[in-house]
Amino acid sequence: MTDDRTFVIVGASQAGGWVANSLRSEGFEGKIILIGEEEHIPYERPPLSKEALLGDVSVESTYFWKKQTLEESKIDLRLGTRVSSIDRTAKKVITENGEEISFNKLAITTGARVRKLSIEGSQLPGVFYLRTIDDTLEIKNQITKGSNALIIGGGWIGLECAATLTKLGCKSIVVEAADRLCGRAVTPEISNWMLDYHSKNGVDIHLNTGIDIFQGKEKLESAVLSNGEKVDCTVAVVGIGVIPNSELAADAGLDVDNGIVVNEQTQTSDPDIYAAGDVANHPNAILSRRIRLESYENAQNQGIAAGKAMLGNSEPYSEIPWFWSDQFDANIQMIGIPENWDTTATRGKPENNEFVTFYLKNGVIDGAISINNPRDLRFGKRLMQEKKQVSVEDLSNMGIKLQALLRS
């Protein structure tokens, strides 16, 4: 029996690629059309602010799959194609060029786009954002050794960029409007560790500081900070967060609230339309609340879950959020989104840049952040999953292996 259904995926992103991959690995034999606005097949974003910016890897090496592999899996790629609307009644997506593509089921994996600054001079060449491969290539072309690189925003992207541009021989200057780094993601003590670590590595960090104006004749030459200070710079990278690309869904009348609202099966308010990745807002049973995650793991695993769900093979999607970042020689990983913890336990020595801080609520791990110790963090994730009762003394005692706590 042949399957004459067509499943369309809008967004050739990490999540979109995994939807397609998962449909095929679950045995779907119908037509899969993967539509992407960029000219690239799905690629990994983590290297864009690190290895790819350093120049250590080629653009092609960031692709999740070889183009040939996707073609062999009979995934019909429509790159450089923007979808402008969804007609839910006729079950069609309409591209910017007016092409109509019918679907039996649809997945929306349109991700997120950078939040832009609109201040004087923000249109000057030399002012960059970092979200796509093309952004990375442009920044790489523009930087010159020994020059100042101004980074707006002391979050993950800003700090990764600061580290990489420092490695490339630039003087990185970070301005952050809040009173600490990565304030939305990490606890104050980790923010302090980051500040200290980056400062020791030569990054110049200004907290409680914004940007007023970019200046330059034909391209960026300097910037005026909110404290009135003028900073010469040849490039600026703005990393002040992202906005979910949920307009397509909203215009089609789907429920949207900080992203496309989906249920635990990644299904939107239209049962034939699914959403996954940065654009989707899902109910997370572990966190007991709705959340929209901007992470590698979520884009991958929710994409896989959506592929299964489209075939009716769904299991509820709910995972402990997991993030990581690499800055200079520090691998930073986080599990959970710790909130309202009552106590913390630190394993290892922050001054040696190798430790894990656990956040506990009623004797159970509610989240953790590790610096250069992914292994203990992983055991912490298992302890958190199993809701094991643990003590600050045991977690902090390097003489006790965390696997032993799992078995106890």
Task: Compute how many residues bind other proteins; rule: CB under 8 A.
Answer: 20
Stretch that binds other proteins, among 150-158, 212-220, 282-290, 371-379 (CB under 8 A): 371-379
- What is d(CA 336, CA 284) in angstroms, rounded to the nearest whole number? 11
Q: Please, which residue, 150 or 332, has the CB nearer to other proteins? A: 332
- Of 296 and 341, the one with the shorter C-beta distance to other proteins is 296
**Which lies closer to other proteins via its Cβ, residue 64 or residue 341?**
64
Among 13, 81, 300, 302, binds other proteins (CB under 8 A): 300
H or E stretch covering 149:
strand 148-152
Cβ neighbours of residue 24 closer than 8 Å, sequence gap 6 or more:
32, 73, 74, 75
Tokens standing for residue 358: 């656990």
* SS3 call for 20: helix
Q: Which stretch binds other proteins (CB under 8 A): 186-194, 230-238, 241-249, 376-384?
A: 376-384
Q: Is 67 in the site for other proteins (CB under 8 A)?
A: no
What whole-number distance in Å separates Cα of residue 71 and Cα of residue 33? 11
| CB-nearer residue toward other proteins: 76 or 297 | 297
How far apart are alpha carbons 281 and 7 in whole angstroms? 22
Q: What is the DSSP letter of 47?
A: G
Alpha helices for 73-187 (secondary structure H): 133-142, 156-167
Nearest residue (CB) to other proteins, 315 versus 339? 315
Which residue's CB is nearer to other proteins, number 274 or number 379? 379
Task: Please give the structure tokens belonging to residue 298.
Answer: 């979520």
Question: Segment contacting other proteins (CB under 8 A): 31-39, 118-126, 180-188, 294-302?
Answer: 294-302
Residue span binding other proteins (CB under 8 A) among the ranges 132-140, 241-249, 256-264, 292-300 = 292-300
CB closer to other proteins out of 81 and 327? 327
Which of 240, 27, 17, 38 is closest to 122 using CA atoms?
A: 240
Residue among 252, 304, 345, 384 that touches other proteins (CB under 8 A): 304
Residue of 379, 383, 384, 390 interacting with other proteins (CB under 8 A):
379
Task: Pick one of 7, 9, 15, 18: the residue that binds other proteins (CB under 8 A).
Answer: 18
By the rule CB under 8 A, 274 interacts with other proteins: no
Nearer to other proteins, 316 or 374 (CB): 374
DSSP string, 153-177: --SHHHHHHHHHHHHTT-EEEEE-S
Task: Single out the segment in contact with other proteins by CB under 8 A; choices: 146-154, 180-188, 336-344, 375-383.
Answer: 375-383
* Among 91-99, 164-172, 349-357, 374-382, the segment contacting other proteins (CB under 8 A): 374-382
Pick the closer one to other proteins by CB: 65 or 341: 65
Q: Which residues pair with 152 in a beta bridge?
A: 175, 238
Residue 388 within binding range of other proteins, rule CB under 8 A: no
Cβ-contact 112, 245 below 8 angstroms = yes
DSSP 327-392: ETTEEEEEES---S-SEEEEEEEGGGTEEEEEEEETTEEEEEEEES-HHHHHHHHHHHHTT-B--H
Site string (322-351) toward other proteins, x via CB under 8 A: x-x------x--------------------
Residue 107 to residue 94: CA distance in whole angstroms: 14
Question: Closest approach of Cβ 44 to other proteins, in Å?
Answer: 8
Q: Phi and psi at residue 364, in whole multiples of 5°?
A: -120, 140
Within residues 27-66, the interface with other proteins by CB under 8 A covers 44, 64-65
Helical (H) or strand (E) element with 129: strand 127-129
Interacting residue with other proteins among 38, 263, 296, 318 (CB under 8 A): 296
Rounded Cα distance between 344 and 334, Å, is 14
Tell me how far, at minimum, the Cβ of 206 lies from other proteins, in Å. 32
Q: Where do contacts with other proteins occur on this chain (CB under 8 A)?
A: 18, 21, 44, 64-65, 296-297, 300-301, 304, 322, 324, 331, 374-375, 378-379, 382, 401, 403
